[in-house]
Structure 1
């Protein structure tokens, strides 16, 4: 039957389904209209309208089972209302009330809820595509026969995350429905300035991926085709790219307006409104009469007003500093496990490998992902033989796509699976920087979802590897709240702290100095054991000065002191940079009265600066000399060995140590 702009073929849908489709589209439309009024009244701060696109949100959501995850964008209100999230909670979220999903810490749809299997986006639009990969991977590993649907706009397909996520999903045959809402404009930029192919769906061919184009304003077409696709993917797991042709009648957000859209285009799409056309169809088909329609709208408006009153009546949030600080990390008790067996002398690199292997044996769902880590055993052969022990599902070679794999790890965490991501070199994490600092770090604080991930970071110089394979870039992350940073210097510590990092439900960046891999040996327990994160180690005691360091620089400091036996020094190996053991530092400095901090990182902006400031602020009256920082030059790290020797601080440390002792 035809109606308005569409030829509605009902595909044997019964009247109950047809009415549910209409009701589920009508509800977000009426909510939006109310929100636009509140926006003009200054009662909410911002609004991204999805008016004209409701059929996509509703059709996709109704095609999925309630236990299947959906990752919507900021124009997908219909996902939230169709999953029947209480409106009062949504209103509280938009008004910054405590009963909202983010306790006033984020706005709009920047939240998720495990109760309704909805994972919201962040403003960096691409990462959630990779997150969907992780959720779908978990479904596949658990043999759940579930699909995951993720939304993006046509503008978001220009981001590298789109390419990476689709490529990973295709290579791993993940059951993801990539739903692209092509509404003609990325903010004000038309599609002909975003991409140069006719249809976004055409890109599926390049990924070896099935793709479809669906009329995004025809609710019956959306629901029926998505229902068929979803059921097929449940039975035969694979990714599918779906392009929905649609339009947003209002601006990108209300402040931007629609002046950049030609009037005839607006008029054409207004005539294709998914709700008015479907309403006409239902009336013409004698499925919905005028009286029933009025009653339905009245019921929804009453629900809106009732739930607005609930949100309005809630008290404003009173800022509480302790609450804010306590919600940066997921709290947990790190149970210290002691080894019951003997010791054996192993190298630093062997301690890493043993720590990983024993954790994999204790947790049979733990997954390791990284480039060349499977049959090849990794760039440093740390995971050599792991495929035979744990299989390809758990030891996963990845394409070269740091961003997507970190996002995939987050998706695994959402679905209850811990993962370890190996950066082939710590330098390469810059290609995945956004999801680390904006997704993982902020997740628990924003909406209570921990990111249960360890990122292994082979780092450091003194190996003649040049500017892109030698950085020690811990300072990129120590200043980002929500990340833990562990940086051991000895085989014993690396094995025990790696086990603890894997047990920690928060995101941990685990730095492993490449120069120590095969140069340092130590007696280490044979069995599994753990060490406390956030506790420094006093590796040498003395009375004249406190030497504070971490990583390879600890060994440089010890070598210098060995050459100068007349110097009596406390040597503190920090082991963990975030959280930092300030108590150990302060206790030592108060005893010795002098402090020197040695780091391999370049001087400006490194963690030594923060430690120095903390000592000056908290121990000033105990100091007999200024706090001294010794670090690498403020240049990129060079390749040529003579230049690298000049760059690194180990040859300057002795002179600086002796000078501060004479102060």
Structure 2
């Protein structure tokens, strides 16, 4: 191996050696502890230390790095206390996830590190968001993100590279090509000769680097980082390297040919670099021994501290309280001036006023800038706020959601418009696995609102008509809002944006221009988790939300029914079950109406809770009404039969007569 110093000081060369040595000695100790059953799992980076160490040393300490399982050198290079790492791997409270996640699935804002999730791909988009935040704040910073050769086949990888290229984001995409995705060799994963070619395909600069040569890694990344701070753009680096252990220890390495293993063993990054330092007169035997002795004592001392810590204890209140980032609702009172406007206008006003309220709020979505969005919610926003804050996106829902998460990590707020709520399926993974879990896992709020134009009744067919709120009410960590009236939509949207937790904000497009209401001027908020009692009576409780509210009002008027409670839930998570129980206990009969297909919908859980808590108050079985168990059809007659309005009238008649 040819170690060109490129005028790297002896002090820095020794630092790189010591950082690799620390990583290697920790790994060797972990392998012993794994065999002893004192840790549960280990993903070894032995043979790859030069990449993590070299990249970390090249960046400024306040520049974010997003590592993977085998990048221990990132964490040690940022001087994270070792006992906290050891506690993390043992699932103890001094770790970074309070025992809630394992391995390197954590972040530390203090150390500017954002750890991975097992789905790999989203972290590339998160890096984009962090880098975008730096650009918008006028900070000359770069962001480095790691992935492996296997993850370059994921859609999130391609989406993230495309966004970074289109937006000139200062991201260094670090691909550790160690030849195998678990056991699958690269020849069975892609056809390009080098992974760097994928970067070129997206119009970005790309380089191949010897990932076992720490000086080459350090000098190349240092050179690029310095340039990217002044000339923002993405760069891809393919590090050719090898892991000498299995994907994780249980996997073994039997699938690796012996001659290949021997070739890479001869290129061990630590052994070869140690020989270079010895031959250069930089590392004496005495200094090497002193380093190893000091590191060994340090590891043992911190292990003793971690082992001495009590196992984490379960406290139900603590677990539930840590699901969301603390949010203290602040009421902004309604203006006395009232205007009668459409639902779509109220949403636009709420969004516009929130942009004024929060200068760090960024809007992202397909066609939302010059075009104003397909429903014209953001029409005129571009002229007011500029393209930096009102951002057209490529068609890549998953990476845009991840980008929003990165903005949140960098202290920004984001509102993402799904052009149609149906398309959220293409961005499902980062919503339910990143946004929803990130605060519970390591205390990072996901300050993101996702706007969801949804609903049937407009003849849009199976792919533009779903109301899929039940996909998300099932996921702990998300909040779900679904207003039916313009005034509610405006105030609830403002609160959703104020809330630092992830919110899915459903907007029924069939109501956009058909429903008018009196809406206060100016900025105001409404609390999440409070239902609205629209009608009061004693014969029956009719509970619904969204378009169901208007279907209920129409049916009651047509049928001449007045003696009922009509409850509009408004938010589905948090859910105002207190108001539900109060109404049901008063009337003794309950009809639950939703537009979603019946099975597995929100009302199924509400029915179960009513059965558990109000059984003795019921005078009739709990009745649910929803749409047919089929996709939303296109033809008007079919769509009308699919939707529950006619079944609602029959259910009302039967339940009142029961």
Following the alignment from structure 1 to structure 2, what is the Cα–Cα distance between the partners of residues 204 and 538?
A: 56
In structure 2, the partner of 1:174 is 169
Structure 1 runs (4+) greater than 6 angstroms displaced: none
TM-score by length of 2: 1.00
- Please report how far the alpha carbon of residue 125 of structure 1 lies from its aligned counterpart in structure 2 after TM superposition: 0.7
- Write out per-residue CA displacement over residues 43-79 of structure 1, whole angstroms, 9 at most, x where no aligned residue: 0000000000000000000000000000000000000
Is the Cα–Cα contact under 8 Å of residues 341 and 527 in structure 1 kept in the other structure? no
Please tell me whether residue 365 in structure 1 is matched to residue 360 in structure 2: yes
Task: Answer yes or no: is 1:355 the counterpart of 2:350.
Answer: yes
Counterpart secondary structure, 1:7: coil
Give yes or no for the alignment of 1:256 onto 2:264. Answer: no
1:555-610 CA-partner distances (Å, limit 9, x unpaired): 00011111122441100000000010000000000000000000000000001100
Which of 314, 322, 325 is the aligned partner of 1:327? 322
Name the structure 2 match of 1:552: 547
Q: Which residue of 1 aligns with 2:453?
A: 458
Measure the CA separation in 1 of the matches of 2:304 and 2:373: 58
Structure 2 CA distance for aligned equivalents of residues 189 and 259 of structure 1: 12
Q: CA deviation at 1:13?
A: 1.2
CA contact (8 A) 1:630 1:649 kept: yes
1:62 counterpart (46, 54, 57): 57
CA deviation digits over 1:253-288, x for unaligned, max 9?
000000000000000000000000010111111111
Q: 2:464 aligns with which of 459, 469, 478?
A: 469
| Structure 1 residues 143-162: Cα deviation after superposition (integer angstroms, max 9, x where no partner) | 11100000000001000000
- SS of aligned partner of 2:510: helix
Equivalent residue for 2:519?
A: 524
1:182 offset after TM fit, Å?
A: 0.2
Is 2:212 the counterpart of 1:220? Answer: no
For 2:68 and 2:19, the matched residues in 1 are separated by 17
2-structure distance, mates of 1:485, 1:303: 48
Matched, 1:187 2:187: no
* Alignment partner, residue 154 of structure 1: 149
| Aligned twin of 2:376 | 381
> 1:543·1:568 contact (CA, 8 Å) conserved in 2?
yes
Q: How far apart are 1:202 and its partner, in Å? A: 1.0
- Residue aligning to 1:397: 392
3-state SS in 2 of match to 1:515: coil
Of residues 604, 621, 631 in structure 2, which corresponds to 1:636?
A: 631
Residue pairs, 1:430-469, within 5 angstroms:
430-469=425-464
The structural deviation recorded for 1:652 is: 1.1
> Shift in Å at residue 239 of structure 1?
0.2
Query: What do the CA deviations read for 1:205-237 (whole angstroms, capped 9, x no partner)?
Result: 211100000000001100011100110101100
Following TM superposition, by how much is the alpha carbon of 1:204 offset from its aligned partner in structure 2, in angstroms?
1.7
User: For residue 270 of structure 2, what is the aligned residue in structure 1?
Assistant: 275
Residue 420 of structure 1 deviates from its aligned partner by 0.1
The equivalent of 1:492 in structure 2 is 487
2:419 is matched with 424
Alignment of 1:620-631 (within 5 A): 620-631=615-626
CA distance in 1, matches of 2:339, 2:553: 23
Q: Which of these residues, 589, 606, 610, is aligned with residue 594 of structure 1?
A: 589
2:106 match: 111
- Following TM superposition, by how much is the alpha carbon of 1:316 offset from its aligned partner in structure 2, in angstroms? 0.9
- Displacement, 1:341? 4.0
Distance 1:332 1:499 in 2: 14
- Counterparts of 2:339 and 2:158, CA distance in 1: 46
- 1:483-506, Cα deviation, whole Å (9 max, x unpaired): 000000000100000000000010
Q: 1:206 maps to which residue?
A: 201
Q: CA offsets, 1:417-459, max 9 Å, x none?
A: 0010000000000000000000000000000001000000000
SS of the equivalent of 1:516 reads coil
1:99 aligns with 2:94: yes
Correspondence for 2:21: 26
Q: 1:504 aligns with which of 485, 499, 506?
A: 499
Return the match for 1:71 from 55, 66, 72: 66
Distance 2:14 2:328 in 1: 51
Which residue of 117, 125, 137 maps to 2:120?
125
Show the counterpart of 1:82. Answer: 77
Q: In the alignment, which residue of structure 1 is the partner of 2:642?
A: 647
* More moved, 125-134 vs 6-15: 6-15
Which residue of the other structure, out of 279, 282, 290, is the alignment partner of 1:287? 282
Paired position in structure 1 for 2:408: 413
Shift of 1:113: 0.3
2:450 partner SS: strand
Give, in angstroms, the shift of residue 336 of structure 1.
1.1
SS at match of 1:242: strand
Structure 2 unaligned segments of length 5 or more: list them: none
Counterpart Cα distance in 1 of 2:309 and 2:3: 44
**Higher mean C-alpha deviation, range 333-342 or range 650-659:** 333-342
| Distance in 1, Cα, partners of 2:408 & 2:223 | 29
C-alpha distance in 2 between matches for 1:367 and 1:567: 45
Distance 1:65 1:129 in 2: 20
**Of the candidates 340, 346, 352, which is equivalent to residue 335 of structure 2?**
340
Question: Which sections of structure 1, spanning at least 5 residues, go unmatched?
Answer: 1-5
DSSP 3-state at the match of 1:413? helix
